[in-house]
Each structure stands twice: as structure tokens, then as C-alpha cells.
Amino acid sequence: MNQQYRNVFAEMGIPEDAVSKRLEEIKHQFFYGEDSFYHETGADMAYLEDTGNFDARTEGMSYGMMICVQLGMKEEFDRLWKWAKTYMYMETGENEGYFAWSCGTDGTRNADGPAPDGEEFFAMALFFAAHRFGNGEGIFDYEKQAKDILRACLHKGEKGRPGHPMWNRDNHQILFVPGSDYTDPSYHLPHFYELFAKWADEEDAVFFKEAAAVSRRYLALACHPETGFSAEYAEFDGSPMKRPIPWTTDRHDWFFSDAYRTAANIGLDYAWNGIDVGQVRAAYRIQRALLKDMRADSYHIYEVDGKIAGEKALHPFAITATVAQSVLAVEPDDVAREWVMKFFGMPLRAGERRYYDNCLYVFAFLALSGNYRIW
């Protein structure tokens, strides 16, 4: 596991003081600027608002916590965690031990189901907080809270406990939702699973270690051999999930919003662990597949083979950020340099869709500046 963190911006010739200054500007804009979607409520809570859907999601809440722990922002971390634990955490029923994936900004639940990417990020952010800030009491005993989350994720349905786990315990793959028989490539976080194997309950160490290895092999299969694109939802063999879904008629077998995160995850995993079983090829491929579109500032919705499947992408800033982050997995060349320089010169997004783009923007800036670290 790598404890040396590359500053790719500096490698590209950007002065380190310019990188540090820009990071401070991003930190202020994200949390306290005019276009911030971080909102404090009451004396000790806060939420991140999905500005396109006008709700708070476990995705955003857990992302916000990870950003806070990476930036050393303990007060904001605790505010977000208390809001999530107060309004999102489910103490009874089939999903007890999980978090409702969407709530109104007043805390009213919009759903009683969880989204596993939220639980993954909650657990990892809490472990990092335990090591960086130190454990407190009650819900601020971060390490205990992280272990409780992962215990539920793996062991629901056992010994009379209601509900379904978030991992398929037979093939070690994270599920799109508990009880489903397919996955989401962007949920596969082998760099987190390596750490869960060290810090979760000892009895689950072997499972998480194998899950890390499985996810790397899975990502090599799920990313198209020419474009590097993954689908939003996919079968356990990596192929795009084309089956109908009961609650929507929307497509999820193409390279669209969720899928942008996959390349970024490959980059961060390689930066932390340096293990390649074939998944790193996707980083090279996606950088080239989208190069002309990046230069033209015009991304579309794509089939995984690269054919244009829809009008302009809803989250173009997210595409630039995540492909730039994938540079962490490659030997820098002229194409990689172009992505990094394009990203460094790109502002945070303004407007209605800024929430998702700007979360991924901050992750990419942290990663490329050497500030997305194992704590």
C-alpha cells in the first residue's frame, strides 16, 4: 500500500504554491461560497443538497464527510454525520442498520431503501476520521460506527436479522441495491476494501481482501476494450445490464452519470495500491476516447462502445474531473498532460447541476494534488 502521494499538478509544472492556493479557493467555494450547497442547520448539523433534485442523498452526505476528513474539517464532518445519523439512519424494519438514500432537506425521508455507495463512503470516511480526529462518544465513536455499518452490509439476513446484505457473499461483488442480482461498476472500490480488510471486524477481513481482488478483475471486464467506458449498471460478468427494472423505464446500460466515477476509482486505487490486473488499461482508453470532445468542450451521452446515444451530457464537469483523476493510473504522456491541464484550468460548476459535478471535482483535485490520503 502506497503512502507516498503524487502531486500530479506539480509533475506537470504547475507551481506548488499555485496548487495550494487553488485548493484553498475550492475549499471555500465548496463549503461557504455563493454557489455552495453545504447548508448548516440548527446548532450542530448540516447537509449537502443535490441541487438538481432538491434533496439530500447518502451519496452526497458521505462524499461531503470524505472531503471534510481529507481537508481536516472536523466541525463540518461532525455536522454532516449527525444529520445523516439523525434523519437517514434506519433503526427498524428490513433495512435497519442502513441509511435511507434520499431525504428532503427538512429531514423527511423520500425512500426507505439504501444505496450501497453511500454506506461504503460513510464507513471509509468514519475510519479515516477515527485515525485523523480521534474517536469520541456515542455517534462520534467513529470507528465503532464504521464497523457497525460494514457488519450490517455483510451480515444482514443471517441469524434471523431481517433484510439483505449489500454484497453478494458468493461472488464478493457489491450490489446495486440489497437483494438485487446485478451491480454498478462505479460502486466497486477496491482501494476501500483493502482498508476494510484491515479495520473492519476481524472475521470479515478475508472477505474484504477477496472483494478487493474481485473488484479489480471486475473493472477490467466492465470497461469497454476500446473506449474504457463502463455502463451505469452491469451484470456480474461486466456486461451492461439491459434487463428492465421495476421502478423505472430509464436506460442504465450506457456511459452516463454514475459511470463517470469508474475511471476515477481506478486512478485512486492504483495511486494507493499500485496493483494492475488489467483495469488500468481503461484509464488509457478513456483519456483517448474522449480527447476530441474534451478539446471541444462538448460531451454527449454515449453507448459503452463510444457511439453517441443522446444529447449533451448532464455532467460535463464531472467527466473532465474523473478522466483527469484517471491519470493517476498511467505513466504521464501528452494526452494525460492535456487532461490534467484542462482540469486545473476549469472552475467549479455553477447552476442547477453543480452538486454532482463539484463533488467529483473536489475528489479529483484532492487526488491529483496528493491530498486524497489514507488516514
pLDDT of 174-228, one tens digit each?
999 999 999 999 999 999 999 999 999 999 999 999 999 999 999 999 999 999 9
Residue 256 has a pLDDT of 97
Nearest 5 degrees, angle CA 77-CA 139-CA 194? Answer: 70
Residues 6 or more apart whose CB falls under 8 angstroms from that of 13 comprise none
Going from N- to C-terminal start, the domains of the chain cover: 1-33+216-375, 35-166
Report which residue type is found at 59. E
Which one is catalytic: 59, 119, 184, 269? 59
Q: Is the pLDDT of residue 97 over 90?
A: yes
> Which of the four pLDDT bands, split at 50, 70 and 90, describes residue 34?
very high
Catalytic residue (one of 194, 258, 303, 357)? 258
Amino acid at 207: F
pLDDT tens per residue across span 329-342: 999 999 999 999 99
Nearest to 186 by CA among 287, 235, 278, 259: 259
Give yes or no: 59 in active site: yes
pLDDT at residue 2 tops 80: no
Is-contact 336 287, C-beta < 8 A? yes
Q: What's the pLDDT at 253?
A: 98
The answer on pLDDT for 10 being more than 80 is: yes
308: pLDDT strictly greater than 70: yes
Per-residue pLDDT, 345: 97
Please give the Cα distance from 70 to 85 (Å, whole number): 20
pLDDT, average across residues 4-19: 96
Average pLDDT on 59-81 reads 98
Segment 76-100 mean pLDDT: 98
| pLDDT score for 309 | 96
User: Residues 293-315: what's their mean pLDDT?
Assistant: 96
- Which of 7-16, 89-98, 245-254, 281-290 has the lowest average pLDDT? 245-254
pLDDT at residue number 169: 96
CATH 2.40.30.10 fits 1-33+216-375, yes or no: no
- Read off φ and ψ for residue 232, nearest 5 degrees: -65, -50
Within 10 Å of residue 113's Cβ, how many Cβ atoms? Answer: 17
Give tens-digit pLDDT for 245-296.
988 889 999 999 999 999 999 999 999 999 999 999 999 999 999 999 999 9
C-alpha cell at 186: 462505479
CA dihedral 41, 42, 44, 45 (to 10 degrees): -30
Contact 328, 367 (CB under 8 A): yes
Main-chain dihedrals φ then ψ at residue 82, nearest 5 degrees? -65, -40
Long-range contacts formed by 141-147: CB under 8 A, 24+ apart:
143/199, 145/85, 146/122, 146/199, 146/200, 147/199, 147/200, 147/201
Average pLDDT, the chain: 97
C-alpha distances in Å from residue 298, one per residue of 290, 291, 294, 307: 10, 10, 6, 14
Query: What is the mean predicted confidence (pLDDT) over 24-48?
Result: 97
pLDDT of amino acid 246:
87
Domains 1-33+216-375 and 35-166 in one fold = yes
Distance between CA atoms of residues 300 and 293, nearest Å: 8
Tell whether the torsion through CA atoms of 238, 243, 245 and 251 is positive or negative: positive
What's residue 1's pLDDT? Answer: 53
pLDDT tens-digit readout, 41-60:
999 999 999 999 999 999 99
Tell the CATH topology of 35-166: Glycosyltransferase (1.50.10)
All residues at 6 or more sequence positions from 246 whose CB lies less than 8 Å from its CB, including other chains: none
What per-residue confidence (pLDDT) applies to 252? Answer: 96
Positive or negative, the CA dihedral 276, 281, 284, 290 is negative
Q: Could you read off the pLDDT of 129-167 as tens digits, one per residue?
A: 999 999 999 999 999 999 999 999 999 999 888 999 999
Residue 24 in this model has a pLDDT that exceeds 80: yes
* Predicted pLDDT at 160: 81
Count of CB atoms within 10 A of residue 251's CB? 18
16 is catalytic: no
Does residue 325 surpass a pLDDT of 70? yes
